[in-house]
Structure 1
Amino acid sequence: MQAEDDLTVPQGTNAPELSVTELANALKRTVEDRFGRVRVRGEISNYRGPHASGHAYFCLKDQGARLDAVIWKGTFLRLRTRPQEGLEVVATGRITTFPGKSSYQIVIESMEPAGVGALMALLDERRKKLAAEGLFDESRKRPLPFLPKVIGVVTSPTGGVIRDILHRLNDRFPRRVLVWPVRVQGETSAAEVAAAIEGFNALPVDGAIPRPDVLIVARGGGSLEDLWSFNEEAVVRAAAASAIPLIAAIGHETDVTLIDHVADLRAPTPTGAAEKAVPVRAELIEHLAGRGRRLALAKSRALEQRRNALATFARLLPTPEQLLQTPRQRLDRAGERLRATLRAARDARRLRLSRLAHALAGHSPQAELRGKTERLRGLGQRLQQGLAARMALARQQMRGDRQRLEAAAARLTRARETLVDQRRDRLARLARLQDSLSHKAVLARGFALVRDEKDALVRSVVQAPAGTALSIEFADGRVAVRAGETEATTPPAPAAALKRKPRKATESDQGSLF
């Protein structure tokens, strides 16, 4: 081609110097010559409607690339299928470059739909799934606090969104703002946004870092791919689980993401979110001032009404003199009746008292006292006489009792002496009997008792083998011996002696113990 020939430089020579415009125009001619007319299938993205000039600018994309597209005003008016966000189309046109941006684009001449785009199909499937779980129900949405003390903002700290929000808050009602910086586009954006929402909810109520009263999740405008992070399921579930009321302000008013459905309130823009988060301070001051004026006016009106009512009631009420006239008359009449009653009662008491005095005159206390005194004197004399007779009788009884006691004491002394003599004689007889029956008397006649080592009686030679230690008891003591070799030569006892029974001691032999 001619353009390629113009750029060819022989070896060994320096490359020709080209201006940026010359290079851009050369590339433009090359692209237009190579791709004069093409048919491209892709999904419409970042479509915002026709420009003020009437031209339409958007992108055609698929899973791997994106192509800028433009439809000139004349062509746009003739199209049967108008561009729509997310619509998959087959566009026919020519490829050209735009030197002002060093980019290439397709100038569309005709366009026909090719079906719903892949991203839109995925988005619709995810929307249906989350809606079936009830995450988009209106009953779950909570009202925003009227005047939050702290506002949490989840957005990029470097973009213009945070500046717009802060500027709008300062204009309406300055509040404390906590910013949780996140990426609002890219692979890690969804995880960072979900973590920011959960992090704000995890702050303690009375901790060093105050917990926000309302959250704003904000991002500027962009294509469907740019806003895709806010369609991720993790972000939607984090927003649904947030205990803090949440405002979603993603993109422009025409941009709708899944977080908009689950948020407690959707704002068309980040600036609109700031407007919905706080009221206008000046309007509140004016409103409170108006309420104060209305309250003062109502108070004055109420006081005036009470004064008028009091004056009306005062006119209707009777005077104190009028109120006291009837009670005074009743009091006077009652006083007269009381005095008459007292006089009648006094006269009745006097009459009764005179009757009682006359009756008491016949029963003089002095006369009755004298009679009682004489009676008591006679009773006293009779009592003295009775006591004297009783004492004489008691003396006679005492003399008789003394004589009987003395006789009884003499008899007791004689009985005691007789009993002692009897006991002494009986004790002597028992002593003599004990001496006659004691074994010591037998020992005194020349007999002895033989005992072994255990102090048991030895009654036979068999019980005392040779070498046995024995103890022989005599009448005057004991002797320790040892048995020798002996033969039993003791003759058998006579039969008469064996059969003889000991004589039973009679009462005359033993004596009487009593």
Structure 2
Amino acid sequence: MSPECEAGFDASGRLLAEERAGDNAPPLSVSELSAQLKRTVEDRFGHVRLRGEISGYKRAASGHIYLCLKDDNAVIDGVMWKGGAARLPFAPQDGVEVIATGKLTTYPGRSKYQIVIERMELAGEGALMALLEKLKAKLSAEGLFDRSRKRPLPFMPRTIGVVTSPTGAVIRDILHRLEDRCPTHVLLWPVLVQGQGAADQVARAVRGFSAMQPGGPVPRPDLVIVARGGGSIEDLWSFNEEAVIRAVAECSIPVISAVGHETDTTLCDYAADMRAPTPTAAAEMAVPVRAELVTMLKEQGLRMERAVRRGAGQARERLEMQARLMPAPDALLAPQRQRLDQLSDNLGNCLRHRIGDARAHLNQAGGALRPALLRQHLSRAAERLDRLRLRPDYLTRVFQDRATAFDRLSRLFVSVNPDLPLQRGFARVMAGGRLVKTVADAEAAGAVSLHFADGAIAATVEGGALPSPLEKPQSQAISPVPRPSRKPREGGETRQQDLFS
């Protein structure tokens, strides 16, 4: 290492920063320099107007707009906050030339400068028409302007919905024209027709009419007219907004677009089912002329009356011709009248013969009814009744047989009672709710319960088998079992004792 490096500097400069005498420029931090640049730029360019083409347009979820303004040789970043973006009279798109008004500022995080846009306008009518053509091509590609989507207008709508300004001359012209042609019920949805918020109000009005249900408190329109007076392209721009076009195309009610005068054309005209050159013409398209309808109805009524009269006359002529060909009524009824007279004469004779035959049959049947036969029949019936009559001795015998059978069943029920042997000193061995029948079952259970007549006790099974009670020692004598003595029955007979008593 050279002596200069050992001393802390070299020939080209110092290694360590040191303050020199007369140096009045202290070092700045990056943040301090960025802050000074920001103040300088904002003070110098506090209000600027830039003309350029939009590029990289993006609307954030927060509502802020980020874009770039460029020309042939330069580009500058731009931002428009949510409040200013909501007041834009048009929808920005890439490639549209605009004039942006705002102030320049810096963004220290990236060492870049940008313009904070407060107001943005289209740069001339050419830019506005370019934006219009671009939006028209986009919506046309989606099929919103197809002829197949157009619906026929109702011949005579009961209710007409009008979307326009309530204070302009348009609504008065429409009402007057409808009154002259055919008075109709009109619903007015008041909206702004130009300026900020006009497009949103028009779109909401069209969707509001479409959402109304038939049979509600307010009658649902059969036809909707979107109307506005004439003006420049800027005045009519609200009816070129995408929100209005989509609302008109999606409306479930036929729509007539009457925006501007005959030479004015908006995208709303393409989306509607019918375009009217003026609002007055829209009223003429909406309803027919009442006087012409009355005249037409009268003419149709006269034609119908003449047709009915002509048909009735022709039918009368055909009927008269047929009547002349038919025979006279007397000739048709003469044979039937003769037959009726003949049948009338034969009716009396037939009735007399029938009465005579009935009287002879009655006399024959009455002679067979004799008192002796009736008494004999009653005697046989009494004998049969006596044989069928119930006797008390028969019922008594049946009751005794039933009582004897019931007594046998009662004794059998008592004899099969499982608790009866317990009263004679036996015990019932149970293990886990089950009856123990063998020694093996008892050893397997280990713990058992012995049930006696007066209760139950727990017991433990121990090993070692006891001698069977049936096995007797050889030397033990078997004593005879005394036989029970029979008691004599009543009347001197003996009766066997009950085994289970």
Q: TM-score range by the shorter chain?
A: 0.3 to 0.5
Normalising by structure 2, we get a TM-score of: 0.43
User: Highest CA radius of gyration, 1 or 2?
Assistant: 1
Normalising by structure 1, we get a TM-score of: 0.42
Give the structure with the higher percent helix: 1
